[in-house]
Amino acid sequence: MAKQVVQVDRVIIRFAGDSGDGMQLTGDRFTSETASFGNDLSTLPDFPAEIRAPAGTLPGVSAFQLHFADHDIMTPGDAPNVLVAMNPAALKANLGDLPRGADVIVNTDEFTPRALAKVGYDANPLEDGSLDSYRVHPLALTSLTVEALRQFDITKKEAERAKNMYALGLLCWLYHRPIEGTERFLRQKFSSRPAILDANLAALKAGWNYGETTEDFSISYEVRPAALPAGTYRNISGNLALSFGLMAAAQRSGLPLFLGSYPITPASDILHELSKHKRFGVRTYQAEDEIAGIGAALGAAFAGSLGVTTTSGPGLALKSETIGLAVSLELPLVIVDVQRGGPSTGLPTKTEQADLLQAMFGRNGEAPVPIVAPCSPADCFDAAVEACRIALTYRTPVLLLSDGYLANGSEPWRIPDLTALPDLRVEFATEPNHDGAFWPFLRDPQTLARPWAVPGTPGLEHRIGGIEKSDGPGNISYDPDNHERMVRLRQAKVDGVAASIPPLEVDDPTDRARLLVLGWGSTYGPIAAACETARAEGIDVAQAHLRHLNPFPANTAEVLRRYDRVLVPEMNLGQLALLVRGRFLVDAIGYNRVRGLPFKAAELVAAIKDVIARD
């Protein structure tokens, strides 16, 4: 029968099920097809906190949310229009986020009395009327998949595993997504297992055909491609963009890239990705622990490489002494901290931005380091290039603060022209620089950077180690005046970075706003969406976002004092607000949540209205 096609401007879909149900793969493939179609998009993968939580339990639910549209969007969306729930746990864990009238596609095969009891359902929600305010589509997904694959020489268990491809095919039909990219992906993934390949391809097409023929779905939806600036695009996650940014910086500097790292969630993908690119002069070292990882990276920097180490919050704490050593030695080193919920092990798979004060002060003594924070998954590329620029120019360790939301989320990325990136080439010291001798701390008058001398260069031998050195000659020094001079010089060098970064920009369309919403890191999207919504309701509100957190842009004080109130939303208990109050004597108002999830735009709209109502 002919089915109606409805045009919509945006859709938010959430796939949810057990870890073994393949929800992350399903969401990733739907995202890739959506990206190839030309929509703007933003994703939020949500992993269980345990590696293998018990099947069918609430802690074991894995989810993937995708927001795609025919226009520019900034967040994965607040409330899903569609929930695909593979079992009762997935339904119960996610139902509270759905607006009334949302579509709920459920795998009825999993709604057994035992599975319902495991998550606290006294009755089957598909039968007791509790879902009457939603458009429920009960489908026996597992049985349908097994029936569709009956002809293949595979076990029943292998057939059941393909139910995610069946669901993907159905959703691709429902929203007019192509499936050719997924077919190519499956052929590559299962090239050595032809029976499994054929079964997954068949399940994908069976799901598509079910949507085409069933009477349960009489309407399909179409979201037109977005009008994006001209260029070549690809879908990219934050960790992948960050990896590419590090490689691009190495290419622009002409230096080999060395990564010393210990695997830790959610930063491990950077190690995995960089390990694939030896042909670009990348060397990766999986160390036995966090301390060895940064020690190797600092040694590589001493030897003339672009040294990088990656970690998350607990690992950053372990690396603190070696970061202090890098500050003392004044060598370029990039430390990537993909923040997660803490303290201690905390919430390994959940996001947070609570390492700002650790990045700023988490070392013994006066050990200042520049801090850079990306604002979106694609921006991780540019932030990585910027962190490398600062490290190489100023001969200093630099902390790059990403987080789990940025690391795992994805969005379209316009591939840049490599030649348009900054020229990061450095000149190594090759000869004595002071009366026939080599002084390792004879500084550049503009940047205060010291010479970078590769070990083994004749005549440029110099002392290395954590004990204080004399300014200029670099001899070990216990002189109080020299120590104060070196401490102040290192601080002045970091402060001087402000001269090479752009001013803080403010989005204030009417120029009448009395409230400024100030953010950093991954809060950019929710803040921007919230300000856009507030303005549409007639509220004058300004927005500014900090990429550089140490030093702050030179005009930060001027911007902050332009407004009566400053609202600072953070996924912590007020760390940037504390710095703003202490540095600029501005009574910043914090809006703070530490739930392991990014902000929703709607809650920030409410926060904006609440602050304005205080006047």
Q: Which two tokens stand for residue 87?
A: 């079992």
Other beta carbons less than 10 A from residue 343's beta carbon: 9
Other beta carbons less than 10 A from residue 71's beta carbon: 13
CATH number of 234-420: 3.40.50.970
Which of 15, 213, 172 lies closest to 104 in space, CA to CA? Answer: 15
3-state secondary structure of 188: helix
- What pLDDT, on the 0 to 100 scale, is given for residue 470? 97
Which of 360, 276, 349 lies closest to 583 in space, CA to CA? Answer: 360
Instruction: Considering the chain, tell me which residue range(s) the CATH 3.40.920.10 domain(s) occupy.
Output: 4-222
- What pLDDT, on the 0 to 100 scale, is given for residue 69? 97
Which of 156, 158, 157, 169 lies closest to 202 in space, CA to CA? Answer: 169
- What pLDDT, on the 0 to 100 scale, is given for residue 34? 96
- What pLDDT, on the 0 to 100 scale, is given for residue 215? 87
- What pLDDT, on the 0 to 100 scale, is given for residue 3? 83
Q: Which two tokens stand for residue 99?
A: 């607006």
| pTM of the predicted model as reported, rounded to 2 decimal places | 0.96
- Compute the distance between CA of residue 267 and CA of residue 261 in angstroms, rounded to an integer: 9
Residues of the chain with pLDDT under 50: none
b (16+ CB within 10 A) / e for 370-404: bbbbbbbbbbbbbbbbbbbbbbbbbbbbbbbbbbb
- Compute the distance between CA of residue 160 and CA of residue 145 in angstroms, rounded to an integer: 7
- Compute the distance between CA of residue 202 and CA of residue 193 in angstroms, rounded to an integer: 14
On whether the 4-222 domain is CATH 3.40.920.10, my answer is yes
Angle 55-57-59 from CA coordinates, rounded to 5°: 105
Q: Report H helices in 356-470.
A: 356-361, 379-394, 404-408
Instruction: Considering the chain, tell me which residue range(s) the CATH 3.40.50.920 domain(s) occupy.
Output: 506-613
- What pLDDT, on the 0 to 100 scale, is given for residue 53? 82
Using an 8 Å Cβ cutoff, are 512 and 485 in contact? no
- Compute the distance between CA of residue 527 and CA of residue 311 in angstroms, rounded to an integer: 27
Instruction: Considering the chain, tell me which residue range(s) the CATH 3.40.50.970 domain(s) occupy.
Output: 234-420
Which of 433, 441, 436 lies closest to 473 in space, CA to CA? Answer: 441
CATH topology of domain 506-613: Rossmann fold (3.40.50)
- What pLDDT, on the 0 to 100 scale, is given for residue 50? 78
Which of 264, 352, 258 lies closest to 573 in space, CA to CA? Answer: 352
Q: What is the edge-to-edge ordering of all strands in the sheet holding 589-592?
A: 506-507, 542-546, 515-520, 565-570, 589-592
**In angstroms, how far apart are the furthest CA atoms of the chain?**
91
